[in-house]
């Protein structure tokens, strides 16, 4: 028997632990406190010695990914009375209590769902009209809705055999559920037309949201969200691709993880809205290309290798049972098409929700998630590209970074005179870390206070004074002092952290510039849509101030929330949009940003605050007093 990693055990308990490096022991994030049972575990590894202080080690802290139950004790433990272990998980490690952005702004969608229910009083057969059961049913459907073509209606093969008995046992009064004017997918006794639901899923790299929608009135009846359990195998898509490459069953594990998440969400919304999962007849799915492939159990490996080729772009209708999704057993899943490379169906959702393809002016939409996507266009053209930008903005790779959970510092002000810090936290709890909006605020404020220069360095003048300290070969600015926090130590932003944010914001800005250059347009960006969980909480002015988005006035910057999820809802509510998407796809240009020749220079210039070239941000007068060095 092998050693058993405790990381896997938590996964089995449906308590996946956040991991940035995918369990390689290179991020040091998965710190847990072993309160009982340490004697059965392996020795502390070198990776742990690197990330845990002596104090940590003495207290019993370990890295979950490095900690294993020693194989030789496993038999013994089975004999002993449980619990064998008591392990404390710091709250930011647990996938609960997060501020997941679940609502987007949905334009009024014309109702024309793929699912239609018909209550029918079927004509009984006679010797003079001995019409077979199925054909009699079709005749009644056509009589009710003459837009439907008789010739095109089929029936799920599993269902045909139920038809004769349901008809005869219910005096020929039945309710039929028709999908896409094309296939009968349910057949129930009596009138069940009022139970007609669909579910729209947004599978984010980090977060999954499911919206239960009533298909008769278009209203979201309930929603549920969950951190993507795949996070246990790696925080970003690149780490997950490596996991798939290196583990023979990697794809299967990730597929199962996300499938369980979706089925959990289905259970949750059904419970909330007191409906049966069999009354959900269709699901729509958006997600980036890697999430799309993993959900479909398609090998995504070529998406990660130049020239970055997905297996399939096209939208697909797949039986829910084929995918093991627990909705109506004959129901369908509409897989929203992806665009190219990493730019997936989520971006299709953003385009639909933002209506960027109908804008007169050149418009930029950026979807800020664990993966970042850029869409640039107007009613004449559309271009997209992706950048691996989001994870720092969600707190990854940041010393005291965390997601937008209770206790996260989310807004920050710095007094330029004495560098005193005031901040707010989510749910007003004692702070335990900084989330993305806090980081953007902190950097904006540090720039305005001239603690930072435009190149992102701490100004030497202030180092080793007050809150700015040189420690462990790094320079740190103390945001919250030890006594203010609930983690027994201070919360800080380090020089390294600032570099991470610089890279993220540079990725968005330089990506936008490169797409613009590729389009070879003279047009100027007049409008910006910020989409995604993170984008909805940040300070618009500071986003512009640090140079993440172009210099346009705040009133032309719109926070559109979880636009990908709203897009998935619209596609559920109006099947004609699926045809529209087919046409949109032909129009969209995909640009592989990072392989462009000018990428390196553009990226380096964009690392400056707000940019190497200040002329690009003419309204930000404050920068005139901030040194460049």
Binding positions for its own copies, rule: CB under 8 A: 125-127, 130-135, 151, 154-155, 157, 160-161, 163-165, 296-299, 302, 306-314, 316, 318, 322, 338, 340-341, 582, 590, 592, 595
CA distance 226 to 203: 10
The tokens of 372 are what?
């970042």
What is the nearest approach in angstroms of its own copies to the Cβ of residue 282? 17
The tokens of 261 are what?
């998440």
What is the nearest approach in angstroms of its own copies to the Cβ of residue 126? 6
Q: Which is nearer to its own copies, 47 or 298 (CB)?
A: 298
Helix, strand or coil for residue 342? coil
Q: Which is nearer to its own copies, 156 or 367 (CB)?
A: 156
The helix (H) or strand (E) run that includes residue 509 is helix 495-519
CA distance 350 to 430: 35
Distances (CA, A) of 525 to 109, 390, 550: 27, 22, 8
395 Rama class: left (phi>0) / alpha (psi -120 to 50) / beta: left
CA distance 455 to 79: 61
Q: Which is nearer to its own copies, 209 or 374 (CB)?
A: 374
Q: Which is nearer to its own copies, 255 or 500 (CB)?
A: 255
Indicate the DSSP class of residue 98: B
Distances (CA, A) of 596 to 28, 292, 310, 514: 33, 26, 20, 8
Tell me, rounded to whole angstroms, the distance of Cα 624 from its chain centroid: 38
The helix (H) or strand (E) run that includes residue 588 is strand 588-590
Residues in the chain: 629
Tell me, rounded to whole angstroms, the distance of Cα 399 from its chain centroid: 22
The helix (H) or strand (E) run that includes residue 203 is strand 197-203
Q: Which is nearer to its own copies, 296 or 366 (CB)?
A: 296
Q: Which is nearer to its own copies, 1 or 127 (CB)?
A: 127
CA distance 510 to 464: 34
Q: Which is nearer to its own copies, 94 or 318 (CB)?
A: 318
Query: Which residues are CB-contacts of 244 (< 8 A; sequence separation ≥ 6)?
Result: 250, 251, 254, 299, 300, 301
CA distance 4 to 472: 34
The C-alpha angle with vertex 379 and arms to 378 and 384, in degrees rounded to 5, equals: 45
Q: Which is nearer to its own copies, 163 or 447 (CB)?
A: 163
Closest CA to 184 of 111, 263, 120, 273: 120
What is the nearest approach in angstroms of its own copies to the Cβ of residue 41? 39
Q: Which is nearer to its own copies, 64 or 514 (CB)?
A: 514
HEC string of 374-402 equals EEEECCCCEEEEEECCHHHHCCCCCCCEC
Q: Which is nearer to its own copies, 342 or 423 (CB)?
A: 342
Q: Which is nearer to its own copies, 118 or 545 (CB)?
A: 118
CA distance 87 to 375: 45
């Amino acid at each position: 028997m092998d050693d058993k990693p405790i990381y896997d055990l938590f996964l089995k308990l449906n308590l996946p632990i956040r991991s940035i490096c995918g369990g390689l022991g290179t991020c040091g994030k998965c710190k847990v406190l072993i309160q009982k049972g340490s004697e059965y575990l392996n020795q502390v590894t070198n990776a742990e010695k690197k990330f845990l202080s002596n104090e940590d080690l003495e207290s019993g802290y370990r890295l979950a990914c490095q900690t294993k139950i020693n194989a030789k004790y496993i038999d013994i433990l089975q004999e002993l009375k449980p619990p064998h272990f008591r392990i404390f998980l710091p709250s930011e490690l647990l996938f609960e209590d997060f501020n997941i952005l679940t609502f987007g702004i949905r334009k009024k969608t014309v109702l024309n769902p793929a699912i239609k229910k018909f209550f029918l009083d079927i004509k009984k057969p006679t010797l003079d009209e001995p019409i077979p059961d199925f054909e009699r049913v079709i005749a009644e459907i056509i009589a009710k809705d003459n837009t439907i073509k008789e010739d095109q209606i089929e029936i799920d093969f599993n269902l045909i055999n139920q038809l004769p008995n349901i008809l005869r046992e219910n005096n020929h009064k039945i309710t039929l559920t028709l999908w896409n004017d094309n296939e009968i997918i349910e057949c129930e006794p009596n009138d069940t037309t009022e139970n007609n639901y669909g579910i729209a899923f947004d599978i984010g790299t980090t977060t999954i949201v499911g919206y239960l929608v009533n298909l008769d009135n278009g209203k979201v009846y309930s929603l549920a969200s969950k951190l993507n359990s795949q996070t246990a195998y790696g925080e970003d898509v690149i780490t997950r691709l490596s996991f798939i490459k290196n583990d023979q069953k990697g794809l299967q594990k990730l597929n199962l993880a996300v499938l369980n998440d979706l089925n959990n969400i289905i259970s949750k919304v059904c419970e909330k809205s007191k409906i049966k999962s069999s009354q959900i007849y269709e699901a729509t799915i958006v997600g980036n290309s890697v999430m799309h492939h993993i959900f479909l159990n398609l090998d995504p490996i070529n998406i990660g290798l130049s020239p970055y080729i997905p297996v399939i772009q096209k939208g697909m209708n797949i039986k829910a049972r084929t995918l093991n999704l627990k909705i109506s057993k004959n129901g369908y899943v509409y897989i929203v098409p992806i665009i190219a490379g990493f730019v997936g169906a989520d971006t299709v959702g953003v385009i639909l929700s933002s209506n960027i393809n109908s804008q007169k002016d050149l418009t930029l939409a950026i979807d800020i998630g664990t993966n970042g996507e850029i869409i640039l266009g107007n009613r004449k053209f559309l271009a997209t590209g992706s950048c691996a930008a989001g994870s720092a903005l969600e707190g990854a790779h940041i010393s005291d970074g965390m997601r937008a959970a209770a206790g996260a510092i989310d807004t920050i002000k710095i007094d330029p005179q004495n560098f005193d810090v005031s901040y707010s936290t989510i749910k007003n709890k004692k702070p335990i870390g900084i989330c993305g909006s806090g980081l953007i605020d902190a950097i904006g404020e540090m720039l305005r206070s001239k603690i930072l220069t435009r190149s992102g360095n701490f100004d030497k003048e202030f180092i080793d004074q007050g809150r700015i300290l040189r420690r462990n070969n790094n320079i740190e600015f103390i945001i919250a002092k030890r006594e203010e926090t609930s983690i027994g130590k201070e919360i800080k932003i380090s020089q390294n952290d600032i570099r991470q944010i610089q890279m993220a914001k540079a990725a968005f800005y330089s990506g936008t510039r490169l797409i613009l250059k590729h389009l070879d347009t003279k047009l100027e960006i007049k409008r910006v849509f910020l989409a995604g969980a993170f984008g909805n909480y940040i300070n618009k002015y500071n986003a512009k101030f640090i140079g993440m988005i172009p210099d346009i006035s705040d009133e032309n910057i719109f926070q559109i929330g979880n636009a990908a999820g709203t897009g998935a809802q619209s596609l559920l509510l109006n099947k004609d949009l699926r045809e529209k998407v087919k046409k949109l796809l032909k129009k969209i240009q995909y640009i592989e940003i990072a392989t462009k020749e000018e990428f390196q220079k553009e990226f380096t210039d964009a690392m400056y605050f707000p940019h190497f070239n200040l002329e690009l941000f003419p309204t930000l007068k404050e920068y005139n007093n901030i040194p460049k060095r």
